[in-house]
Amino acid sequence: MSEIQPESLTTSDAPEKRTLLGKYELGRLLGHGAFAKVYHARDTRTGHSVAVKAVSKTRVEKDGLNPSVKREISIMQRLRHPHIIRIIEVLATKTKVYFIMDFAKGGELFAKIAKGRFSEDLSRRYFQQLISAIGYCHVRGVFHRDLKLENLLLDENWDLKITDFGLSAVKNSNSNNNPVLRTLCGTPAYVAPEILGKKGYFGDKADVWSCGIILFVLTAGYLPFNDNNLMRLYKMIYKGEFRCPRWMSGELKHLLKRLLDVNPHTRITIEEIINDPWFKKGYKEIHSIFYDDDLMKQVEGGDRNEANSRFLNAFDLISFSPGFNLSGLFTDNKGENCRETFLSTEEAIKIVERAEEVAHEVKSPRVVMERVKGGMGVRMEGIRGYFGLVVEVHRLTEELVMVEVRWREKDVGLGRDYWKEKLRPKMCHLIYQLVRVDNGIV
């Protein structure tokens, strides 16, 4: 987080012309909540529109919300999906914290549905985008816990964007089990019945219930559970008492009954939703981007792109040694990423092209690919983010290149196996000498 000095936050005579650190010119107020305001702003360097969420430090500390703000920053910085609002950077003054985020030009989905219910086709489109993003979050151990129409935005292409991860929960990266959560949170009309039971609940199951409420509202135009009396509302939710309007198709009614199943153990899962007949119509797999702190800094940072076209220096080589890896000092995700490194006498571009060819040859239905910036690497992402694999090439000398293959430790049975069992056997002729395997030196 960058700390803005008081003199860096300039204000002109017109309050809407405030400029943060000379980077973002603040414009109109887009909305506000209990302790935050969201403004439209213009990036003075690129001219692009962004959204700036201003959070009062005093209010946050007074209400004990500091952990929530930190959690939101941490989660949003790690999520990279076409239908999740991206956090660009975080700035701060002595009194406020500023989230610089993607600007959703289309506004809230809530405002659109307030004008009238959507057709099933349009509702299906938004529901498919919602499930793709939520499935992506769940695979990464992130549970939103406050899904509602007000937290769904639309971009300039009228595509859905999920925002507001302030109430999210994160699964312990060292645990493979689905954690039982106990914190009561969420918006009353969208809250799952097991949360009301106060006996603990699963974050993914609670999110699926909220997705069911959203789908019902999109297609019906009103909430399935609604009462001005909160206790009566909770009783309706707890019993699962709702009726589908007559204009809904039979397939949609069946899906809604499974989404709004009061028993979390029999409630439909994300995988089952994706295979549902109503959901599958016109569905195209939405590909996400594999996000890894160290790698993204290398791939997306301008300086590192230049590094691919020059020789690695001594400092670069040290960074490949596990004994000198200092990344643990700057991140809480110790041991999250594994890698294998080897030397090759082939040209860098040929190695990248061969990796792409082999991935196509094995014809795995679980993999999509993307070139890293600069062309000296390829990033592979399993469908719905089940694993991530990166092959990146660095010039070492005139005759040698160093090839680094990275995967996430939590996906060790997927990312590593995909590399070792499918890709590496078909690329072994490119290997001149192994330098590092997993977390050890060969």
Q: Active-site positions? A: 146
What lies within 8 Å, CB to CB, of 282 at 6+ separation is 121, 124, 125
Residue 374 identity (one-letter amino acid): G
254 vs 244: CA distance, rounded Å: 10
What lies within 8 Å, CB to CB, of 311 at 6+ separation is 395, 396, 397
Quick one: how far is CA 356 from the chain centroid?
25
389 vs 44: CA distance, rounded Å: 35
If phi > 0 it is left, if psi is from -120 to 50 it is alpha, else beta; for residue 356 that is alpha
30 vs 38: CA distance, rounded Å: 5
**Contact yes or no for 129/159 (Cβ under 8 A):** yes
147 vs 267: CA distance, rounded Å: 17
140 vs 151: CA distance, rounded Å: 20
**Contact yes or no for 54/39 (Cβ under 8 A):** yes
The residue among 401, 292, 312, 288 whose CA lies nearest residue 355 is 401
213 vs 209: CA distance, rounded Å: 7
| Six token digits for residue 101 | 């985020």
Which residues on adjacent β-strands are paired with residue 54? 37, 98
**Contact yes or no for 355/424 (Cβ under 8 A):** no
The residue among 377, 384, 381, 370 whose CA lies nearest residue 418 is 381
What lies within 8 Å, CB to CB, of 433 at 6+ separation is 342, 343
**Contact yes or no for 147/95 (Cβ under 8 A):** no
The residue among 416, 277, 393 whose CA lies nearest residue 346 is 393
394 vs 401: CA distance, rounded Å: 6
